[in-house]
Structure 1
Amino acid sequence: MSMPNIPEGKFRPSMKETIIDLLESIALEEIALSHLLNAEAEKIQALVGKDLDFPSCPSNEEIFKFNHQTSKFLEVIVMKEWLLLRKLDDVIFLNGELKPLCSKGEHDDCDCDYDCGCECDCIEYVPCKCIEEEPCKCRHYHRGRK
């Protein structure tokens, strides 16, 4: 079974824009989680009361159920935080893949070049010339070409 081919898109975002979008999505999820935690804290405060006097006079069983529900809620939040951490790790790894394969000075005859700011659909950095790939006119290497 072969890998699916993704067709070239005229308005496909660059790798840099994709990484920014991924980081924004992580930040938005973190904000959403903070709102959920704040709402749960307000529920706890409403149950316990400002003076810690339990104004609704809950029974021990009701307090136990509430505590159990809060515990389960926090477990879900911790799992979601772990997933966001994994997503962040993947974004950091992906961002590291954009770095040049060699930097000036590592190879005597290396002629590596950085982003020229062109408008074509190419990655941000150029690999070392010892890698045999077909560059575009601006010496950048197109995504997906091997």
Structure 2
Amino acid sequence: MITETNCTPTLECPALPRVTLNQAVIDLLESIALQESALSHILCAESQKMKTAMAMKEVDLCKLLEINDSATNMVHAVANLELALKDKLEFISNNLYYPSTENTTTAQ
């Protein structure tokens, strides 16, 4: 059975702004820095969660161990994301091509 859809073939995606190579590199590095900052905030929140739990009188050892496991899982997740960001940064730095500005004529 063939069903008709309401998709129109003339839909156009919005044009992306044209940027220079230098601006593209800056944007990529800025995105990595923002992600690093977000991961830092996540780790800080985990630290605060552990401090708060340890200060609570009514929390037993079993509950503290559960909270510790949760924090450990989050730290592992952040570490994996850090590796992905490191790979992203290495990819950017290893694959940039900057044309030489020097005169490349050779004497014969």
Q: CA RMSD in A?
A: 2.5
Report what 1:108 is aligned to: 106
The list of structure 1 runs, each at least 4 consecutive aligned residues, that deviate by more than 4 angstroms after superposition, is 102-105
Map 1:1-146 onto structure 2 (within 5 A).
Answer: 11-49=17-55, 55-95=56-96, 97-100=97-100, 104=103, 108-109=106-107
Distance 1:10 1:32 in 2: 26
Amino acid aligned to 1:39: A
User: TM (normalized to structure 1)?
Assistant: 0.56
Q: How far apart in 2 are the matches of 1:10 and 1:57?
A: 55
Q: CA deviation at 1:63?
A: 1.5
The TM-score with structure 2 as length reference comes to 0.74
Aligned to 1:132: none
Q: In structure 1, what residue type is equivalent to 2:106?
A: D
> How far apart, in 2, do the equivalents of 1:56 and 1:76 lie?
29
Larger RCO: Structure 1 or Structure 2 (Cα < 8 Å, ≥ 6 residues apart)? 2
Amino acid corresponding to residue 37 of structure 1 in structure 2: L
Compare the two structures and name the one with the higher helix fraction: 2
Shift of 1:58: 1.6
CA separation in 1, counterparts of 2:18 and 2:99? 21
- Cα distance between partner residues in 2 of 1:62 and 1:71: 14
Report if aligned partners of 2:50, 2:68 keep a CA contact under 8 Å in 1. Answer: no
